[in-house]
Amino acid sequence: MRIYQQDDGATVFSLAKQFGITRQTVGQHLRARGVDTTRLVLQPEDVALAIELYQAGWAYAQIAEKFGMSQTGLRDRLHQAGLPKAEPFGRRGRNLGRA
């Protein structure tokens, strides 16, 4: 496996996808070679952009990949920033037509 420097812009997620291995395995290989794999917290301007992308119709998976983080981490961060939680799939409109 080629060792990627932090400034290459590759994320653990993109490397896992490229090499067909888990992100945990990528992290183990990188840490063994002295690469810091600490996740970066979204900066305020990144949070604002992520919210804009979500409101424009992007899926959490797409936004998470763009910022190199997990969907869960992204969703939690956006909710902390005030983005309302979406209803679970299939629950929207569940009571339509009921009086």
Asked whether residue 59 is domain-assigned, the answer is yes
Asked whether residue 97 is domain-assigned, the answer is no
Selected residue with higher pLDDT from 42 and 24: 24
| DSSP alpha helix (H) spans, 41-89 | 44-55, 60-67, 71-80
Q: What is the DSSP letter of 69?
A: S
The amino acid present at 17, given as its one-letter code, is K
Same-domain pairing of 32 and 7: yes
Its domain, for residue 63, covers 44-80
pLDDT digits (tens, 9 = 90+) for 32-87: 998 877 666 677 789 999 999 999 999 999 999 898 888 998 998 899 888 887 75
pTM score: 0.50
Answer whether 25's CB lies under 8 Å from 16's CB: yes
Same-domain pairing of 29 and 61: no
Residue 23 has pLDDT above 60, yes or no: yes
- Measured CA to CA, the distance from residue 81 to residue 52 in angstroms comes to 12
Number of domains present in the structure of the chain: 2
Selected residue with higher pLDDT from 99 and 75: 75
What residue has token string 């424009």? 56
